[in-house]
Amino acid sequence: MFLINDHTDETMTPCSLRAPRLPVTRRAILSAALAAPFLTLPRAEAAETLNVTAYDGFVPPEFQKQFEAETGVTVRIRPAASQAPELTLLTAERDHPITDICTVVGTRLHQFVDNGIIEPIDVARLKNWNRLNPVYANAEWTRVNGAVMGVPLVTAADVLVYDTREVKPAPDSWFTIFDPKYKGRATYDIEDFLLCVMLAQGADPTFMSYLKEPAAAATAVNAARDLLIRNKSQVVRFFDEGSELQQLLTGGDAVIAQTYASTPARLILAGLPFRRVVPKEGTLAFVYTFAIVKGAPNRDGAYRFLDAMLGTPGIGAALTRSAGYAACFVDAGQGLSESEAAAYGLPADAVERIRFPRFEGQALSSSLIDKAVQDVKAG
Amino acid sequence: MKSWRHFFFLAMPILWVAGLHVGPLVAMARISLTDVYPGPPGANPAFSLDAYAAFLRQPGFQLSLLRTLVLAAVTTLAALILAYPLAYHVALHVAPNRRLRRLGLLAAPFWTSEVLRMFALQLLLSNRGALNTTLQWLGLTSAPRLLLYGAGAVLAGIVYTVFLSMLLPLYAALDSFPKELAEAAALDGAGPWRRLWHITLPLTSRGVASGVVLTFLAALGVFAAPALLGGPGVPVFATTIADLFAAASGRWPQGAAFGFIALAVGSTVAGLLALAVSRIARGMSSP
Amino acid sequence: MTRRRVLALAYWSVLAAFALPLALLAVTSLANGDLVGFPLGPLSLRWYRIALADPDYRHAFALSVILALGSGALAVFAGSWIGLAAASLNHRWAELALMAGALLPLVTPGIIHAVALRIAIQIIGIEPGAGAILLGHAIHATPYAAIMVRARRASLPQEQIEAARVFGAGPFAVMAYVVLPWLKPALIGAAGLAALTSFDDFIRSFFLGGYDPTLPVLIFGRLRSGLTAEINAVSTLVLIVMGVACALAARGSARLREADQVGDW
């Protein structure tokens, strides 16, 4: 018999009397003991819960506490970071929905509608509907076949953000991204920048004028796409989320960017030398809404929640501070300091240059734009 | 199968693998064979191979997969070269009661999420990051040097993500291979490199093979490093698949189909790598 | 021995290289302002105070730890059984088929696997939530255990099993007193990998979870608008807590080992 000594600290006999030790036991006990103090007691199941899938900050914490205290409903929030995973998740649970309210971005409305995820809002049940700025409350572009599909909360517009130390003179056109001075130091969100470039090239980014001739739409998209591909060396790298852009700008890797995210406002309010501008060619804006999920387990609670949100005084400022965007309420600017208002809002002449996406044009735009994004990434 | 006992011993693994590993993928496979999904509720998606054909039609997708395979392979090699000496040191040089602690120290960074570690690398390497700031403060450079957004940064980022799946199998193998053979060879006059090459490496080859397979597969699926540290070039395949699920037009079938293509190709290459390791080991053990 | 010193230097250098980015996360979390970057500006501990006071973070952390331990244990249990079963098969193709099936979750791209599991639990009838996440993490980590145990089992000299049989050990005794102790390094490695991948996992936790987010899901949601000093503070706190826990566990394990060896024969 050839006994092999495999451990330098213990001798292995063929019939070891040492009982086998489970390697995880001690570690498990100690770690669990350490975690125990951190365990809050299991949340007592309230009589009524409301499940909201929301972006970070879209339910201001003070409002949530107030609502819970006044109605006794427990508001549970599931964090979502972007539309794609949220849409995928809600589609996967489409047959057994556990969500009452979800966040829908105007540009993705058609997907939520086509997949049968959300249902129309019965505006009559929202007594405080008139607290919304009429621009958003009555807009054509928030409706599908006349039905309102979500309660507008905040609005975001594409802007140019730039580092005033490096970018001179102040830019006023989308094409500044392609200025050779900033080669390798520019960045943008491909999907949205394609639309901005289309606008700057004189095309229609809402696709409404191409509904009768899809070929013209393809031409317009390709023109924008080819411009991006030709100038790909301008880009340091592409980004998807505001957090990536924020680090690119603060880290000094990018000096000029197109974005709709709250990044410019955050940088400006932090006192960093950045500025945002709406280029002369105009821009696109869209609205983030709270929509009610089809088959929501607590539809009544959802309406109460939305109505309460609309009716809370100062909700506009609270939303702006926690979500980082301008609010859609009548009193949106009230309660914000002058610097906050400047950072989050837009000057009046810029507002005139804004275009909003249209539901009817989205099906056409999404298939063309998706392909174009792929081409830009690969090209 | 030798006996009833053996049968029951095999039953649970087979049930687990069939039910929990293969089972969930059947639904995905069905989706990949439809023409559009998700459709409006109640619609019946039709059978279609178009999703798979889309991969063959567009060289861009094939390029993305190829690039990802190469990147994963290079990362695996780099991780192997980096991890083997460390595993060797902890397994053979460090006192037994300190080994777990040394391993634990190396594993500690992995308690932070992958995305945050990549942001941390950005904090280190960006134009106004720690490294550039220090170099300029020391007077070694006058302007920030671009260190990120190239292949090197992505490679470093992926290694930083998957390192443990190479280190732990290697450690397990090195901790417990029969060292007497090496000691005997030393007594016979073999130098340390010969001992390493002809004895230690071949005897730990199964551990190396499992480390290579696990790391390669992990590297194939890594998201954050290429996304946050990579330049504007061709995206990795994991990103391509995620983009298809994220697409504004229902492209789940393509996403699922590409996923299965990645699965087939990835596992084939992983298997080939494991085979290569064992062949090389066999070659090394005969001086 | 110089070779030993060189390797020790390599170890500590790599450790330093791994720790450096984390040190930066910790340092930037001491900034008074919200943003993360250099130069730092005035320092303060306020983000740590805010993070510790936030019940969401504590709850998510506890949930992540419990899921890591639970799914790790389940994964090691299932994966080891699969690895040993594969080792016991006589036909090469049968073994290959079983191992290929075992590796499936690892080869499957993350989002595909997560969505597939989400659809699957609806069919099985499991509610989305902690239980589903535990199962999902365990399935994901099973391949680690399977592959490491299979590799380790292959190196067990047959003579040891023969010797045990000669002494009269039945199959259970052989398993308990020969095979399992031999597997220990693989079991530890697999448990470590499984627990870590579970703790870090985002995609499966997101799709299988209900309204109780794990820590990565929570952080990811907060990360959307920007990396903040608060997130860095949370990460640093997690590192500190896990480091202390592991150090205590390692010391406890070493003590028990020493105690055991006193009674060795």
For residue range A124-139, list pLDDT tens digits in order.
Answer: 999 999 999 988 888 8
Chain A residues touching residue B146 (CB < 8 angstroms): 184, 253
pLDDT, average across residues A153-181:
94
Distance CA B32, CA B50 (A): 9
Surface of B (186-215) touching A: CB under 8 A = none
Query: Is A253 at the interface with chain B, CB within 8 A?
Result: yes
Which residue is closest to B213 within chain C, CA to CA? C147
Q: What is the amino acid identity at position A85?
A: P
Chain C residues touching residue A102 (CB < 8 angstroms): none
Surface of C (39-58) touching B: CB under 8 A = 39
pTM: 0.86
Q: Where are the domains of chain A?
A: 49-156+286-345, 157-285+357-378
Surface of C (169-188) touching B: CB under 8 A = 171, 182, 185-186, 188
How many domains is chain B built from?
1
pLDDT higher than threshold 60 for residue B249: no
Sorting pLDDT into bands at 50, 70 and 90, what band is B188? Answer: confident
Q: Which strand (E) or helix (H) includes residue A355?
A: strand A354-355
Distance CA A27, CA C230 (A): 29
Site from B31, B105, B116 to mutate, C interface, most C CB atoms within 10 angstroms: B116
Distance CA A259, CA A278 (A): 11
Sorting pLDDT into bands at 50, 70 and 90, what band is C15? Answer: very high
* Residue pLDDT, tens place only, A202-244: 999 999 999 888 899 999 999 999 999 999 999 999 998 889 9
Query: Is A295 at the interface with chain C, CB within 8 A?
Result: no
Contact partners for chain C, using 3 or more CB pairs closer than 8 A, are A, B
Query: Is B72 at the interface with chain C, CB within 8 A?
Result: no
Using DSSP bridges, classify how beta strands A101-105 and A49-55 pair: parallel, antiparallel or unpaired: parallel
Sorting pLDDT into bands at 50, 70 and 90, what band is B191? Answer: confident
pLDDT, average across residues A12-38:
46
Those residues with Cβ within 8 angstroms of residue B83's Cβ, 6 or more apart along the chain or in another chain: B163, B166, B167, B170, B211
| pLDDT score at B287 | 60
A118/chain C closest Cα distance in angstroms: 19
Distance CA A101, CA A87 (A): 13
Percentage with pLDDT > 70 across chain B: 95
Asked if B74 contacts B66 with a C-beta cutoff of 8 angstroms, the reply is no
pLDDT, average across residues A362-374:
87
| pLDDT score at A16 | 38
| pLDDT score at C184 | 87
**For residue B18, is it within any domain?**
no
The neighbour count for residue A338, using CB atoms within 10 Å, is: 8
Of A10, A82, A92, the CB nearest to C118: A92
Which residue is closest to B178 within chain A, CA to CA? A6
Those residues with Cβ within 8 angstroms of residue A118's Cβ, 6 or more apart along the chain or in another chain: A102, A104, A112, A149, A150, A291, A292, A293, A294
C-alpha B194, offset from chain centre: 30
Angstrom CA distances, B107 to A238, C106, C163, C183, C189, stand at 31, 20, 38, 21, 11
Using DSSP bridges, classify how beta strands A159-163 and A274-277 pair: parallel, antiparallel or unpaired: antiparallel
Cβ burial of C123 (10 Å; 0-12, 13-18, 19+) is: exposed
| pLDDT score at A291 | 95
Sorting pLDDT into bands at 50, 70 and 90, what band is A188? Answer: very high
Cβ burial of A273 (10 Å; 0-12, 13-18, 19+) is: exposed
Q: Which is higher by pLDDT, B64 or C259?
A: B64
- We report the CATH number of the domain holding residue B142 as 1.10.3720.10
Asked if A315 contacts A233 with a C-beta cutoff of 8 angstroms, the reply is no
Sorting pLDDT into bands at 50, 70 and 90, what band is A46? Answer: low
**Equal fold, A49-156+286-345 vs A157-285+357-378:** yes
Task: Determine whether the interchain pair B172/C189 forms a contact, defined as Cβ–Cβ distance below 8 Å.
Answer: yes
Q: Write down the ipTM of this complex.
A: 0.86
pLDDT higher than threshold 70 for residue C1: no
Rg of chain C (C-alpha set): 22
What is the span of the domain harbouring residue B148? 50-284
Those residues with Cβ within 8 angstroms of residue B249's Cβ, 6 or more apart along the chain or in another chain: A111, A363, A366, A367, A370
Q: Which residues of A12-24 are buried (b: 16+ CB within 10 A; e: fewer)?
A: ebbebeeebbbbb
**For residue B25, is it within any domain?**
no
- Nearest CA among C224, C207, C229 for reference residue A54: C224
Task: Determine whether the interchain pair C160/A324 forms a contact, defined as Cβ–Cβ distance below 8 Å.
Answer: no
Asked if A51 contacts A302 with a C-beta cutoff of 8 angstroms, the reply is no
Chain B residues touching residue A362 (CB < 8 angstroms): 248
Mean per-residue pLDDT of chain B: 87
* Residue pLDDT, tens place only, C119-171: 899 888 889 999 999 999 999 999 999 988 998 888 888 888 889 888 888 88
Mean per-residue pLDDT of chain A: 85
Helix, strand, or coil (residue B136): helix
Q: Which residues of B45-75 are buried (b: 16+ CB within 10 A; e: fewer)?
A: beeeeebbebbeeeebbeebbebbbebbbeb
**For residue B39, is it within any domain?**
no
Alpha helices in chain A (DSSP H): 25-35, 61-71, 83-92, 109-114, 134-137, 190-200, 214-230, 242-250, 263-269, 299-311, 315-323, 338-344, 348-352, 359-378
| pLDDT score at A10 | 39
| pLDDT score at C141 | 95
Distance CA B165, CA C216 (A): 20
C72/chain B closest Cα distance in angstroms: 15
Strand partners, A118: A293
Asked if C179 contacts A20 with a C-beta cutoff of 8 angstroms, the reply is no
| pLDDT score at A121 | 94
Sorting pLDDT into bands at 50, 70 and 90, what band is B2? Answer: low
pLDDT higher than threshold 80 for residue A304: yes
Longest dimension (CA), chain B: 77
Helix, strand, or coil (residue A101): strand
Percentage with pLDDT > 90 across chain B: 33
**For residue B9, is it within any domain?**
no
pLDDT, average across residues B34-55:
80
Those residues with Cβ within 8 angstroms of residue A100's Cβ, 6 or more apart along the chain or in another chain: A50, A51, A52, A292, A293, A296, A297, A298, A299, A301, A302
pLDDT, average across residues A248-277:
93
Those residues with Cβ within 8 angstroms of residue C263's Cβ, 6 or more apart along the chain or in another chain: none
* Residue pLDDT, tens place only, C28-42: 999 888 888 888 888
Those residues with Cβ within 8 angstroms of residue C17's Cβ, 6 or more apart along the chain or in another chain: none
CATH assignment of A49-156+286-345, among 3.40.50.300, 3.40.1010.10, 3.40.1360.10, 3.40.190.10: 3.40.190.10
The two tokens of residue C162 are: 């023969």
pLDDT higher than threshold 90 for residue B219: yes
B161/chain C closest Cα distance in angstroms: 10
Domains and CATH numbers, chain C: 21-53+215-240 (no CATH), 67-209 (1.10.3720.10)
Task: Determine whether the interchain pair C185/B256 forms a contact, defined as Cβ–Cβ distance below 8 Å.
Answer: no
Q: Which residues of C177-209 are buried (b: 16+ CB within 10 A; e: fewer)?
A: bbbbbbbbbbbbbbbbbbbbbbbbbbbbbbbbb
Alpha-carbon torsion, ordered B213, B216, B221, B225, to 10 deg: 150
Of B107, B169, B263, the CB nearest to C148: B169
Alpha-carbon torsion, ordered A154, A160, A165, A169, to 10 deg: -140
| pLDDT score at A32 | 52
Angstrom CA distances, A205 to A195, A202, A260, A377, stand at 5, 9, 15, 20
Sorting pLDDT into bands at 50, 70 and 90, what band is A269? Answer: very high
pLDDT higher than threshold 60 for residue B69: yes
| Residue found under tokens 């387990």 | A297
C10/chain B closest Cα distance in angstroms: 7
Asked if B43 contacts B261 with a C-beta cutoff of 8 angstroms, the reply is no
| pLDDT score at C216 | 92
Strand partners, B102: none
* Residue pLDDT, tens place only, B113-122: 888 999 999 9
pLDDT, average across residues B166-172:
90
Strand partners, B120: none
Sorting pLDDT into bands at 50, 70 and 90, what band is A254? Answer: very high
| pLDDT score at C84 | 93
The neighbour count for residue A132, using CB atoms within 10 Å, is: 22
Task: Determine whether the interchain pair A243/C176 forms a contact, defined as Cβ–Cβ distance below 8 Å.
Answer: no
Sorting pLDDT into bands at 50, 70 and 90, what band is A26? Answer: low
Residue A361, CB-side half-sphere exposure with 13 Å CA sphere: 23
**For residue B38, is it within any domain?**
no
| Residue found under tokens 């001075």 | A181
If you classify domain A157-285+357-378 with CATH, what class do you get?
A: alpha beta
